[in-house]
């Protein structure tokens, strides 16, 4: 039995605990999860650097998972387009049981090895792609088969799992073991294991975007201003990054088509929108490089 499914003696009388003790116990597990991710820091850093290299060559991030792990992976993929303007076609999440399983559990889907291979073939996985398989138990057949298949094709394969000895680690090129141990509810990997998976994916995807130049001075300069709140945030970013007052920044942001990077170049270099767009194009979209010429 995997450690995430093992019942801990510490929680044997859980139902008799006071509500405040329950809260403390659950939060204790969340703190432990982050500590476990910290212990995997070296492997996560390696995953960032290796992934950035593949993605800079035009590859895609492809997540593959089942159940809780698949849903956490899907959340990470879904956040990349609005946060970093990363193309949705380059952030793909494959879920055991298909799209319907994102919202409703599809029992037995995680055991389908054939589907793991077929789903990756369905998106034409290739050697520039980064395939991240996530499985708390480390033994999910759908994920293992997918990782093996992607690795044969030449894609970079990363496995995130929570149980030592899990075959996910053998199936991928870069294993990331995050040992979170028994859950407060035995086998409920949406708890500690899920928190650890989310934190690890946050590190990888955010780190990759920083390495690729999608962040400038700690700001989400690729952010899509798709609503009033984000338009206000965008104008404030332009003001902060250029030193312009908010009225000037708001006007430039509007003239730039609400594209933060364009507005920043316009104000920083005192150029037109067209010249700013051209400067960014010469810099491959990297704001830092565009500003230094």
Question: How does pLDDT run across 152-162, given as a tens digit for each residue?
Answer: 999 999 999 99
Residue 1: pLDDT band with limits 50, 70, 90: low
Average pLDDT (229-244) is 96
Length of the chain equals 293
Q: How far is CA 106 from the centre of its chain?
A: 23
**110 catalytically annotated:** yes
Q: Is 91 helix (H, G, I), strand (E, B) or coil?
A: strand
Backbone angles phi, psi at 160, to 5 degrees: -110, 120
For the chain, the average pLDDT equals 93
Residue 213, token pair as written in the block: 């130049």
Tell me the per-residue pLDDT of 176-224, one tens digit each, with 9 for 90 and over: 999 998 888 887 788 899 999 999 999 999 999 999 989 999 999 999 8
**79 catalytically annotated:** yes
Residue 248, token pair as written in the block: 């000037």
Q: How many CB atoms lie within 10 A of CB 183?
A: 25
pLDDT at 103: 78
Residue 179, token pair as written in the block: 């040992």
Catalytic residue (choose from 5, 15, 28, 79): 79
End-to-end CA distance of the chain: 58
pLDDT at 128: 96
Average pLDDT (138-144) is 96
CA distances from 288 to 18, 25, 221, 256, 293 (A): 54, 45, 11, 18, 9
Q: Cα separation of 61 and 87, whole Å?
A: 10
pLDDT at 56: 92
pTM of the predicted protein model: 0.90
3-state helix, strand, coil in the chain (%, to 5): 60, 10, 30
Residue 285: pLDDT band with limits 50, 70, 90: confident
Bigger pLDDT: 29 vs 173: 173
Q: Cα separation of 247 and 240, whole Å?
A: 12
pLDDT(171) > 80: yes
Quick one: what percent of the chain has pLDDT higher than 70? 99
Residue 150: pLDDT band with limits 50, 70, 90: very high
Contact 134, 69 (CB under 8 A): yes
Catalytic residue (choose from 5, 53, 107, 110): 110
Q: Cα separation of 191 and 86, whole Å?
A: 29
């Amino acid at each position: 039995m995997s450690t995430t499914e093992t019942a801990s003696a510490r929680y044997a009388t859980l139902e008799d605990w006071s509500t405040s003790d329950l809260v403390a116990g659950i939060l204790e597990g969340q703190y432990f999860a982050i500590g476990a991710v910290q212990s995997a820091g070296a492997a996560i850093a390696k995953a960032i650097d290796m992934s950035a290299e593949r993605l800079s060559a035009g590859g895609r991030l492809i997540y593959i998972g089942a159940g809780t792990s698949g849903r956490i992976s899907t959340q990470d993929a879904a956040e990349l387009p609005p946060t970093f303007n990363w193309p949705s076609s380059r952030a793909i999440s494959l879920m055991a049981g298909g799209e319907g399983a994102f919202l409703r559990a599809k029992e037995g889907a995680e055991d389908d090895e054939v589907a793991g291979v077929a789903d990756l073939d369905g998106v034409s996985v290739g050697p520039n792609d980064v395939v991240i398989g996530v499985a708390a138990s480390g033994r999910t057949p759908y994920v293992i088969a997918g990782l093996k298949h992607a690795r044969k094709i030449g894609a970079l394969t990363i496995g995130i799992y929570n149980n030592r000895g899990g075959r996910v680690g053998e199936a991928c090129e870069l294993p990331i073991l995050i040992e979170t141990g028994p859950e407060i509810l035995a086998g409920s990997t949406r708890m500690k294991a899920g928190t650890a998976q989310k934190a690890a994916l946050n590190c990888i995807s955010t780190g990759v975007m920083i390495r690729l130049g999608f962040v400038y001075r700690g700001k989400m300069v690729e952010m899509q201003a798709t609503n009033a709140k984000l338009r206000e945030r965008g104008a404030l970013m332009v003001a902060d990054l250029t030193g312009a007052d908010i009225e000037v920044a708001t006007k430039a942001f509007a003239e730039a088509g609400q594209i933060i990077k364009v507005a920043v170049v316009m104000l920083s270099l005192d150029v037109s929108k067209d010249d700013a767009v051209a400067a960014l194009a010469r810099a491959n979209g990297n704001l830092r490089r565009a500003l230094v010429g």
